[in-house]
Amino acid sequence: MKKSKLKNFSILLLLLVLSACQNTPSKPEQPNNQTTTAQQISKKYIIADLHVDVPYRLEEHYADVSKATDGGDFDYPRARAGGLDAPFMSIYIPANIEAEGGDSTAVANRLIDSVEAIVKQAPERFALAYSSQQLKDNFNKGLVSLPMGMENGSPIAGDLNNLKHFYDRGIRYITLSHSLSNHISDSSYDQARPAQGLTDFGKELVVAMNQIGVMVDVSHISDLAFYDVMEHSQVPVIASHSSARHFTPGFERNMNDEMIKTMAEKGGVIFINFGSTFISQTSIEHWNAFKAAREAFINQHGVAEDSHEVKAFTESYNNENPFPFADLNDVLDHFDHVVKIAGIDHVGIGSDYDGVGDSLPTGLKDVSTYPNLIEGLLNRGYSETDIAKILSGNLLRVWQQIEAFAAEK
C-alpha cells in the first residue's frame, strides 16, 4: 500500500512539473548590451571604408550590386545591414598595363563609368560624393555614397592635365603605384626601384595633388618613396589600405612604426586593411609556402599557371594545408597598435573588401560585419567618441583639410 501511494504521488508530481513548464513562457534570449550598442553606433555615424574593390570585381564578373549578390563582399543589402555609408570605390589599374605599354588612362575612365552606372541604375540607393560635405548630405538623405580613389597612378601618364581630368570625374585619392614601380613611384612589391623613391614627376604630382584637392595615398609605395611624399606634401596624407608592420616583420607593404608616427605628426591617417595576409604573420607564411610549392609544381611539370593541373594542385594543397585565417581580434590588435603609437586621430578603416579574395578574417567576411568591429572596439574599452573617429571622423578631418588647402590655391 505504501509503495503504491508513493508511486502515484511521484506520477502526480511529475505531471505538475511538466504542466508548469508548459504554462511558463520561455524568456527570449536578451542581446548582449555591447552588441546592441554596436548596432546603434553603426547607424548613428557615417561609416567610411577607404578601399572597396567593387569596380574591378564587376569588370570581371558583372552583378547588380543594388540588390543582393551571390558573390563578392559588397552589395547594397549587406552595406545597409552593416551600416556602411561611404565605401570608396577603388579604380584599380593593374600594374602590367603601363609596364606593357597599354592605355591605363582608358581603363580608369571605363571603371569610373561603371561607378557612375551603379548610381544611375539605383539613384534611390547610391550617390556619388565629390566632397566631404556631399558625403554628409548623402548620409542625411539615407543614401550610400560612392566616392572614388584611384589605385595606381599610372593613368596620369606623366601629364598633369590628366590629374585635372580625373579630379573632375570624382577621383579624391590616388595610390601612387601598385605592384610594380611606375613613372611616379617605386613600389613596395617590386625589386626594381629605379627612382629610389619618387620620380621627379612623382614629386611634381604630389604638389599638384595638394593644390587641386586630391589626397595622396602612400599604400603600396616603397619606404623611400613614402619619405619623399612626406617631404613634398604640404597637407596630411593617407594610407588607404595598409596595416601595421609591427605584426608582419619584413612585409614592406605594411607601414612600420616610424612611418606611422611620421605620417601622424603631419596629420595623416592609416586605414587598416582586413586581409589575413596583411594582418597575420602566420597567414603570410602559409601563403608564401603555398606560392613556393605551386611554383615548384609548375616548373616540375612544365604547365601554365592557369592550367587544370595547377588548379587541381591548388585544391589538393589547400585541402591538406587549410589556410590559417586571421580573426577579428587580430584586426583589433592593429587598431590598438596604431592608437598606442600615434593616437586615436590617425586610424580608420580600409578593408580591401572585394580586393583580397578569400583571405578575409573570421568575423569580418563582408560589408555586413562592421558592427562586429565596433563591438570589438567597445569590448577593448574604446569610447563612442573614439569609435566615431575611426568610422569616419578621421577621414573627414583630413579630407576637409585638403579641401581647404586647395581652395586657397
pLDDT digits (tens, 9 = 90+) for 77-113: 999 999 999 999 999 999 999 999 999 999 999 999 9
Domain-embedded: residue 147: yes
* Residue 273 shares a structural domain with residue 262: yes
- Considering the domain architecture, whether residues 61 and 150 belong to the same structural domain is answered as yes
Q: Give the total number of structural domains in the chain.
A: 2
Predicted confidence (pLDDT) at residue 8 exceeds the cutoff of 50? no
Q: What is the pLDDT of residue 9?
A: 37
What are the pLDDT digits (tens) for 176-197? 999 999 999 999 999 999 999 9
Taking the C-alpha atoms of 282, 284, 287 and 293 in order, what is their torsion angle to the nearest 10 degrees? Answer: -90
CATH number of the domain that residue 228 is part of:
3.20.20.140
Q: pLDDT tier at 409 (50, 70, 90 boundaries)?
A: confident
Whether 343 is in a domain gets the answer yes
| The pLDDT value given to residue 46 | 98
Same domain, 258 and 332: yes
φ, ψ for residue 241, nearest 5 deg: -160, 70
Strand partners, 145: 127
Q: Look at residue 7 and tell me if it is in a domain.
A: no
The three three-digit cell numbers of residue 204, written as one number: 611634381
What is the pLDDT averaged over residues 317-337?
97
- Residue 21 in any domain: the answer is no
User: Can you read off the three cell numbers belonging to residue 295?
Assistant: 611554383
271: containing domain: 32-280+327-407
In sequence order, the β-bridge partners of residue 272 are 242, 349
The reply to whether 297 and 221 lie within a common domain is: no
Same-domain check for residues 212 and 351: yes
Q: Are 332 and 380 in contact (CB under 8 A)?
A: yes
Q: What's the pLDDT score for residue 31?
A: 52
**Cβ atoms within 10 Å of 288's Cβ, excluding its own:** 11
Nearest to 84 by CA among 69, 74, 93: 74
- Over residues 121-127, the mean pLDDT reads 98
Query: pLDDT tens, 137-170?
Result: 999 999 999 999 999 999 999 999 999 999 999 9
- 47 and 195 together in one domain: yes
pLDDT at 26: 40
Q: Work out the pLDDT band at 3, boundaries 50, 70, 90.
A: very low
In a domain, 14, yes or no: no
Question: Please, which residues have CB within 8 angstroms of residue 402's CB and are 6 or more apart in sequence?
Answer: 210, 213, 214, 215, 235, 236
- Averaged confidence pLDDT in the chain: 93
State whether 97 and 241 are in the same domain.
yes
Q: How far apart are CA 394 and CA 397, in angstroms?
A: 5
pLDDT tens per residue across span 354-391: 999 999 999 999 999 999 999 999 999 999 999 999 99
Place of cell 561603371: 114
Structural domain contains residue 222:
yes
Give the long-range contacts of residues 387-390, CB within 8 A, separation 24 or more: 387/41, 387/45, 388/41, 388/45, 389/344, 389/345, 389/348, 390/335, 390/344, 390/347, 390/348, 390/349
